[in-house]
Structure 1
Amino acid sequence: MQLTSFTDYGLRALIYLATLPQGELASISKVTEVYGVSRNHMVKIINKLGQLGYVETVRGKNGGIRLGMPANKIVLGDVVRAIEPLQIVNCSEDFCHITPACRLKGILFNARQAFLDELDNHTLSEMIDDNPPLRVLLDQSVQ
């Protein structure tokens, strides 16, 4: 299973924001620069993460973005469920004529559930806690 770039960069943006000192603001441009993604794409991602409460946006001259909740409260499975289209295959009878007898859909459902169950075991704080090389790599990416 491969995540969409939207979800991938959404998780990366959260990781970046989680490395900042509590309450510090970052700009979308900075996050864009760190990961080398288009600003327009990152604006959409941050907007969605903001709607979901994972990111807080502060408007104005000294505005920016920061985590909307503590990193240890952000469960990776919840983030993926909220922003990833999780339909692995199209099992509608209009699309696939073997749907009524298909056993593959059940297997794929179980595989998707196992994937999400594993993500549910991890929080954003686990991505950054005791991980000094991460900050170094993030800092190097903008030099």
Structure 2
Amino acid sequence: MTTHWYFATWSFDAQSHVLETDQFSATLEPKVARLLQFLLEHNGSVLSRDELVAAVWDGRAISDEAVRRAVCQLRQVLAHDGSERYLKTVRKQGYLPQFPIASSAAPAPRRRWLLIVGLCASFALALLFAIVWLFSHYRAESFW
């Protein structure tokens, strides 16, 4: 079973429940994370409320509102990049997940960005120290 999913600009770790992009990160509630994983596993298929209840809530008797609330929470998190298009409601049938799935080998976009920023900051700091040292060393020798 896949534990890491990459779709559009998103990265989802099903074990830690972390959903992230370059600019945003959220830890999903367990039921919302299970819902997202089930939707990703059945991408492109219309899923009924009963199928969602069986998979995410283990078939327990729950209200329609509980399903709607979990879907709404997931949509709110995904809306940070204008992605309401990822999960469509199909009237009187259920929900249609439409995630543009990327390669599962893709690195998490946020971690790659942090690595680049860290390397640039380290280089800038080293350059600053070199300039300060050269300037102080040059002034000390020319003064005497």
TM-score with structure 2 setting the length: 0.38
TM-score with structure 1 setting the length: 0.38
Larger relative contact order (Cα-Cα within 8 Å, sequence gap ≥ 6): 1
Q: Which of 1 and 2 has greater Rg?
A: 2
Q: Larger strand proportion, structure 1 or 2? A: 2
